[in-house]
C-alpha cells in the first residue's frame, strides 16, 4: 500500500485498483458488475440505508470505474472522506472504517438487483448513440483491427448485455477478488485506516502488456444522422511506445498539435478558418494511438481533413518556432506541478508509474524529460504518424 | 463554523473589488475577473433610459476579449506558463487563468485584456462561424434542448427564454458597435471583481494589483440595471413536444413559482427546497427503488430548483419510455408534498455541511462562489452557515407553501421512421 502523506486537503482519498484482462467476452460483465456493487452492501442492503449512511459520515463519497490500459482494464474503487480531525464527533472514524470495509469487501451481490443493473447499464450504453461525438469515437475504435486491444470498447457492448446472467456477474466479481491489486491513499490518513488498508489482500506488482496499433490500410466510414453538425474523428498510429526514447517528444508534440493552450489545430482550423468551436488531439498511450476530434459543418469536412494533415506535416518537417515548442513544454510542466494539488492526481501518477515499472519517477524527473525534448525529436516522432481510421457522423442531407 | 481561510479583500480607488485567498502549501494560483453581465443582459437601463442589446452579446464579447494590442493574449499568457479561459452564464462573464508559476505577470495581462477592448470588423466576423458551431454543439445534446424548451415553455418574456449564446440570427448579425456599447456599459472597473486563490503570498500580489489598476480609472461608473420582466404568473405554454434523432424520449415537468424579495430569504428558501427535493427524488426515498424497478426512471432522472429574486422554478426530468407514468409520479409527489422527516433532515444537513467544507479546497468553485456572492450582494460565509441555522420545521413550512399550479410539460421524442 502506498501512502502519500499530506496535510493540505480536506478530504482523504483511497483508491483500490484491480487489474483485469481486457477481453471482448468479459468486458461487458465487468461493466455491469459495477452497477450491481456500487449502491448496496451486506449490512446496508437497500439504497436508502446505503445513501443515508454515506450522508451521515459527512458525505463520504464512493466511485467505481473502469479504464483501459493496453491489454488490461483497471477497476477502480475510490473512496474519499473528510479527515477526522476536521469533524468533532467521537464515533466519526468508526463510521468511516465501517463504510470503507463494507464498500471494499462486502458489496451486495444480490440476484434481486441483477435486473436493475442490467437495465441501468443498457440504458447508458444506448445513450452513447444519442451523442454524435461519442458515436463517432465508438465507431472509429470499432474500425481498428480486432487483433489490437484498442478495438475493444472499454464501456462494453450493448449486444452482449442480454446474454449476461447473474452467475456471469458472480464470476466477474470472483475475477475482481482474485485480480492483482494496487492500493494508494493520499491525505492525512488516520492510523486505524492505514492499518486496515495494509491488511487488504492481493496487492502485487502489476504487469501490463502493451500492443501498439501498427500503420495499416486506411479505413473510412460515414454515418448520417439528423443532427446540427458533423463529428469528425481520426485515429493515427503513433508507432511510439511509452518505453521509446521518443515518448516524451510525442507528449510534447501532441500538446503542440491539439492538446495545449496554444495548439496548431486550434489556431489554424478554429481561429484562422472559423470552421469549428471544438477541435483537439489526445493520446491513447498504451495503444500507440492518437485521436483527433472535431465538430464542424459537413461542407467543411474535406478542408478540415486537409488542414489537419497539414499541421501534422508542419510538425514532421520542423515548420514551427522554438517559442511554440517552449509553450508546449511549459504547459506540460505546469500540469506536472499542479498534480501535487489534487489527491486523485497524485494517486493516478503513482499507479501510472507502477504499471510502467518506473521506480525513479518524480515530478522533477518528468519535468527534466520534458525540458530535454528537441525540435529534431518532434520532427522524427511526428513523421511516424499514420492515419489508420476516420469516421464522420454527419448531418443528413447537407451538401458536402 | 470556522473556515480557517486567509482572505484579504479591498475596494480599489477605481471601484474594483479585489478578494485574495491564500491556500497554504498549494502550488497553483487561479485568478479571475468577473463582469456582472451575462445572457440576461439583453434589455438594460442606464440613467433612466432603456436600450436593447442583441441576444448573446455578453457571450460574443467573451470570445472577442482575448485580443490585446492586435494579438491573441493566450500567446503571452502561455509564454508565462499560464492557461487562460472564460465562460458566460446568465448573470456574469468570467475570465480566468491558472498557473503554478509566479502569477504576477499573467495577472497583469488578465487585468489588461479584460479592461481593454480591441476588436474590429474582421475579428467580429471571424468569430461568428465559431460561435454558431458552439451553438450547434449544444443544440444536438438532448438534455440541453430539454432545458431550453422547459424555460421557453415556463416563461413569457424572462431572460431564461434566451440562450446564453443568443439566437443564430443575432450571432450572425452581431456588429462591432453592439459589442462596443455593451462593453462600455458593463466593463467599467467599478462594476468588476477580481478574485485570486493562490498558494503564493497574497500581500505582494495585492500591492501589485493596486498599482497596476491605476492605469484603469473608472470612466462609466453609472450603475447599469439589467431589466428582467415577467409579468405573468402563468406559464407560456402548458405543453411542448418536439422530435430529435435520439433513442428514447426525454420529458420534463416544470413548475413556475413566484419569486420573492430579499437575497438571504431566497438563499434560505433555495437551500430548504433543494434539500427537500434531494431526499424526495433520490435514493433516500424508498419509492425511488420502485420507480427504478418499474423502469419509470433510469440514471438520467433528477430535479432542478432555483429560487432567486427574479425567477423561481422547479423541474423534474427523466429519459423514459414511460412518459405517462413519470407524469403521474411527479404529480403525486407535488400534490402530497410529503414533509421531510427529522432523520432525513439531519442526514441531508450533515451532507450539506461536508459539501461546504470540500468547496474550500476547490479553487474554481471557491473563486466563482465569491464572484457570485459579490454580484448578488451577500456574504459568502454567512450564506454557507445557513445550513447550520436551518431546521426541519422551516423546511417543511417552505414546502407546504409551494404552489405547483403553474405547470409546463416538455417532451422530446425520437424521430419517427
pTM of the model: 0.95
Close Cβ partners of A194 (under 8 Å, ≥ 6 residues apart):
A1, A3, A185
A chain contacts of residue B29, beta-carbon cutoff 8 Å: none
A218 interface with B at CB cutoff 8 Å: no
Closest CA of chain A from B357, distance in Å: 7
A chain contacts of residue B129, beta-carbon cutoff 8 Å: 273-275
Averaged pLDDT in 10-residue chunks for chain A of 400 residues:
95 96 96 95 97 96 95 96 94 97 95 93 94 95 94 95 95 94 96 95 78 93 94 98 96 97 95 96 96 96 98 98 96 96 96 89 96 98 98 83
Close Cβ partners of A342 (under 8 Å, ≥ 6 residues apart):
none
CB–CB of B286 and A48 under 8 A? yes
Identify the helix (H) or strand (E) that includes residue A220: strand A219-225
B chain contacts of residue A50, beta-carbon cutoff 8 Å: 283
pLDDT-derived band at B416, boundaries 50, 70, 90: confident
* pLDDT per residue as tens digits for the range B76-94: 999 999 999 999 999 999 9
A209 interface with B at CB cutoff 8 Å: no
Probe site for chain B from A6, A41, A47, A225 (most B CB atoms < 10 A): A47
Instruction: Report the DSSP beta bridge partners of residue A225.
Output: A395
Shortest CB distance from A116 goes to which of B82, B282, B293?
A: B293
CB–CB of B360 and A333 under 8 A? no
Helix, strand, coil tally for chain A in percent (to 5): 50, 20, 30
A322 interface with B at CB cutoff 8 Å: no
Q: What percent of chain B has pLDDT over 90?
A: 97
CB–CB of A52 and B24 under 8 A? no
Counting one residue from A and one from B, how many pairs have CB atoms under 8 Å apart? 168
A340 φ/ψ sector (left φ>0, alpha ψ -120 to 50, else beta): alpha
* pLDDT per residue as tens digits for the range B266-300: 999 999 999 999 999 999 999 999 999 999 999 99
Looking at residue A31, its pLDDT comes to 98
Closest CA of chain A from B207, distance in Å: 25
- Give CA–CA dist A106/A96, Å, rounded: 14
CB–CB of A55 and B347 under 8 A? yes
A130 interface with B at CB cutoff 8 Å: yes
Strands B49-52 and B225-226: unpaired
Instruction: Work out the end-to-end distance of chain A between its first and last CA atoms, rounded to an integer number of angstroms.
Output: 56
CB–CB of B25 and A7 under 8 A? yes
Q: How much is the average pLDDT of B158-183?
A: 97
CB–CB of A338 and B27 under 8 A? yes
What stretches of chain A show up as alpha helix (H) in DSSP?
24-37, 47-56, 92-105, 114-127, 132-143, 158-161, 166-178, 191-198, 247-254, 264-265, 301-317, 322-338, 343-355, 363-371, 375-382
Looking at residue A400, its pLDDT comes to 57
CB–CB of A119 and B292 under 8 A? yes
Q: How much is the average pLDDT of B89-101?
A: 98
CB–CB of A86 and B357 under 8 A? yes
Looking at residue A398, its pLDDT comes to 67
Question: Residues 76 to 105 of A: which have CB under 8 A from any B CB?
Answer: 82, 86
* pLDDT per residue as tens digits for the range B299-328: 999 999 999 999 999 999 999 999 999 999
* pLDDT per residue as tens digits for the range B212-262: 999 999 999 988 999 998 999 999 999 999 999 999 999 999 999 999 999
The answer to whether B77 and B106 have CB atoms below 8 angstroms apart is yes
As given in the structure block, the three cell numbers for residue B358 are: 470540500
- Give CA–CA dist A297/A26, Å, rounded: 38
* pLDDT per residue as tens digits for the range B17-38: 999 999 999 999 999 999 999 9
Shortest CB distance from B284 goes to which of A51, A127, A276?
A: A51
Amino acid at each position: 500500500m502506498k501512502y502519500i502523506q499530506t496535510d493540505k486537503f480536506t478530504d482523504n482519498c483511497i483508491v483500490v485498483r484491480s487489474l483485469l484482462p481486457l477481453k471482448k467476452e468479459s468486458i461487458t460483465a465487468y461493466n455491469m458488475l459495477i452497477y450491481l456493487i456500487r449502491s448496496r452492501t451486506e449490512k446496508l442492503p437497500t439504497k436508502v440505508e446505503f445513501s443515508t449512511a454515506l450522508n451521515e459520515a459527512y458525505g463520504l463519497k464512493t466511485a467505481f470505474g473502469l479504464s483501459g490500459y493496453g491489454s488490461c482494464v483497471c477497476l477502480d474503487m475510490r473512496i474519499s472522506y473528510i479527515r477526522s480531525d476536521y469533524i468533532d464527533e467521537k464515533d466519526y472514524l468508526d463510521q468511516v472504517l465501517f463504510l470503507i470495509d463494507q464498500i471494499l469487501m462486502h458489496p451486495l451481490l444480490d440476484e434481486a438487483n441483477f435486473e436493475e443493473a442490467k437495465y441501468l447499464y443498457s440504458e447508458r450504453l444506448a445513450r452513447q448513440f444519442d451523442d454524435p461525438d461519442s458515436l463517432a469515437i465508438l465507431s472509429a475504435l470499432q474500425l481498428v483491427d480486432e487483433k489490437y486491444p484498442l478495438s475493444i470498447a472499454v464501456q462494453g457492448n450493448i449486444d452482449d448485455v442480454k446474454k449476461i446472467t447473474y452467475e456471469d456477474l458472480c464470476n466477474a466479481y470472483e475475477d475482481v477478488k482474485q485480480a492483482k491489486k494496487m492500493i494508494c491513499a493520499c491525505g492525512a490518513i488516520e492510523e486505524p485506516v492505514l492499518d486496515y488498508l495494509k491488511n487488504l489482500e492481493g496487492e502485487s506488482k502489476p504487469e501490463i502488456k502493451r500492443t501498439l496499433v501498427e500503420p495499416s490500410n486506411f479505413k473510412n466510414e460515414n454515418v448520417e444522422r439528423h443532427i446540427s453538425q458533423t463529428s469528425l474523428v481520426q485515429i493515427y498510429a503513433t508507432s511510439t511506445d511509452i518505453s521509446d526514447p521518443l515518448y516524451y517528444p510525442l507528449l510534447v508534440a501532441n500538446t503542440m498539435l491539439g492538446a495545449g493552450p496554444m495548439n496548431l489545430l486550434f489556431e489554424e482550423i478554429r481561429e484562422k478558418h472559423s470552421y469549428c468551436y471544438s477541435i483537439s488531439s489526445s493520446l491513447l498511450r498504451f495503444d500507440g494511438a492518437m485521436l483527433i476530434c472535431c465538430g464542424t459543418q459537413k461542407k467543411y469536412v474535406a478542408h478540415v481533413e486537409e488542414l489537419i494533415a497539414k499541421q501534422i506535416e508542419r510538425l514532421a518537417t520542423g515548420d514551427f518556432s522554438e517559442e511554440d515548442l517552449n509553450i508546449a513544454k511549459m504547459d506540460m510542466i505546469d500540469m506536472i506541478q499542479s498534480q501535487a494539488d489534487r489527491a486523485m492526481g497524485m494517486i493516478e501518477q503513482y499507479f501510472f508509474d507502477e504499471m510502467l515499472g518506473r521506480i525513479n519517477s518524480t515530478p522533477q524527473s518528468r519535468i527534466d524529460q520534458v525540458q530535454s525534448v528537441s525540435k529534431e525529436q518532434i520532427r522524427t516522432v511526428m513523421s511516424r504518424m499514420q492515419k489508420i481510421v476516420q469516421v464522420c457522423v454527419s448531418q443528413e442531407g447537407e451538401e458536402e | 463554523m470556522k473556515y480557517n481561510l486567509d482572505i484579504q479583500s479591498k475596494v480599489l480607488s477605481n471601484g474594483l473589488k479585489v478578494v485574495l485567498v491564500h491556500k497554504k502549501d498549494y502550488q497553483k494560483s487561479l485568478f479571475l475577473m468577473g463582469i456582472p453581465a451575462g445572457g440576461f443582459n439583453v434589455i438594460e437601463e442606464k440613467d433612466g433610459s432603456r436600450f436593447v442589446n442583441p441576444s448573446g452579446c455578453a457571450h460574443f464579447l467573451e470570445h472577442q476579449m482575448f485580443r490585446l494590442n492586435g494579438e491573441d493574449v493566450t500567446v503571452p499568457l502561455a509564454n508565462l506558463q499560464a492557461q487562460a479561459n472564460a465562460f458566460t452564464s446568465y448573470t456574469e462573464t468570467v475570465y480566468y487563468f491558472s498557473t503554478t508559476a509566479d502569477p504576477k505577470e499573467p495577472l497583469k495581462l488578465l487585468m489588461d485584456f479584460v479592461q481593454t477592448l480591441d476588436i474590429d470588423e474582421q475579428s467580429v466576423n471571424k468569430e461568428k462561424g465559431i460561435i454558431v458551431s458552439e451553438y450547434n454543439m449544444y443544440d444536438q445534446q438532448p438534455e440541453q434542448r430539454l432545458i431550453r424548451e422547459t424555460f421557453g415553455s415556463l416563461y413569457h418574456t424572462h431572460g431564461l427564454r434566451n440562450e446564453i449564446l443568443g439566437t443564430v440570427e443575432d450571432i450572425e448579425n452581431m456588429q462591432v458597435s453592439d459589442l462596443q456599447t455593451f462593453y462600455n456599459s458593463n466593463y467599467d472597473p467599478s462594476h468588476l471583481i477580481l478574485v485570486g486563490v493562490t498558494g503564493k503570498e497574497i500581500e505582494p500580489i495585492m500591492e501589485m494589483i493596486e498599482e497596476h489598476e491605476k492605469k484603469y480609472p473608472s470612466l462609466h461608473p453609472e450603475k447599469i440595471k439589467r431589466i428582467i420582466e415577467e409579468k405573468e404568473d402563468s406559464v407560456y405554454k402548458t405543453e411542448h413536444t418536439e422530435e430529435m434523432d435520439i433513442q428514447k424520449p426525454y420529458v420534463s415537468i416544470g413548475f413556475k413559482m413566484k419569486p420573492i424579495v430579499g437575497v438571504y430569504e431566497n438563499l434560505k428558501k433555495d437551500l430548504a427546497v433543494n434539500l427537500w427535493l434531494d431526499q424526495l427524488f433520490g435514493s433516500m426515498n424508498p419509492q425511488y427503488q420502485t420507480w427504478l424497478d418499474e423502469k419509470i426512471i433510469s440514471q438520467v432522472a433528477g430535479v432542478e430548483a432555483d429560487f432567486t429574486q427574479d425567477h423561481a422554478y422547479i423541474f423534474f426530468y427523466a429519459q423514459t419510455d414511460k412518459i405517462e407514468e413519470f407524469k403521474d409520479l411527479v404529480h403525486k409527489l407535488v400534490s402530497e408534498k410529503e414533509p421531510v422527516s427529522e432523520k432525513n433532515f439531519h442526514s441531508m444537513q450533515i451532507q450539506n455541511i461536508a459539501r461546504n467544507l470540500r468547496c474550500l479546497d476547490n479553487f474554481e468553485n471557491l473563486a466563482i462562489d465569491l464572484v457570485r456572492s459579490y454580484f448578488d450582494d451577500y456574504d459568502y460565509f454567512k450564506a454557507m452557515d445557513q445550513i447550520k441555522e436551518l431546521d426541519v420545521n422551516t423546511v417543511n413550512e417552505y414546502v407546504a407553501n409551494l404552489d405547483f399550479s403553474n405547470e409546463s410539460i416538455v417532451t422530446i421524442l425520437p424521430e419517427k421512421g
